[in-house]
Amino acid sequence: MRQRNQLLKVFRLQHRKKKENLRTWDAKEIESAIAFDLIGSTESISQLYRHFPLTLRPFFLFYKIKTVGDLSTMTYDQVKTFGIKDPVITVSKALDEFSGRKDRLKNIVSSPFR
């Protein structure tokens, strides 16, 4: 419960700092999201294309998924409707790898040995 409240505060602060007209998420949406740590991401969905078959790209247009944050806010039930084999596992792996790659890039940039 405490962790969920902290997450809500962090997401609201991030959106205030960006000063964009982004909607806020309630606790149920955050809990049911497939990757709640990437909800506020504004990176283009095209960075994840290599993880998905070509036949899945029209689903991104159909569901109006433009950013990684849009994909990560989807629920497991919504992702299950994707027309690929094991859609939840595929999307989860893609988002996990994206998150890991983002963390690795942060470490490389802030490394004193570069």
Contact indicator for 15, 40 with CB cutoff of 8 Å? yes
* Rounded Cα gap, residues 106 and 33, in angstroms: 24
Is pLDDT above 60 for 18? no
pLDDT single digits (tens) 35-76: 888 888 899 999 888 888 888 888 888 889 999 999 998 888
- pLDDT at position 19, please? 41
**Which of 28, 21, 86, 18 is CA-nearest to residue 8?**
28
% residues pLDDT > 90 (the chain): 11
Rg of the chain on CA atoms, in Å: 15
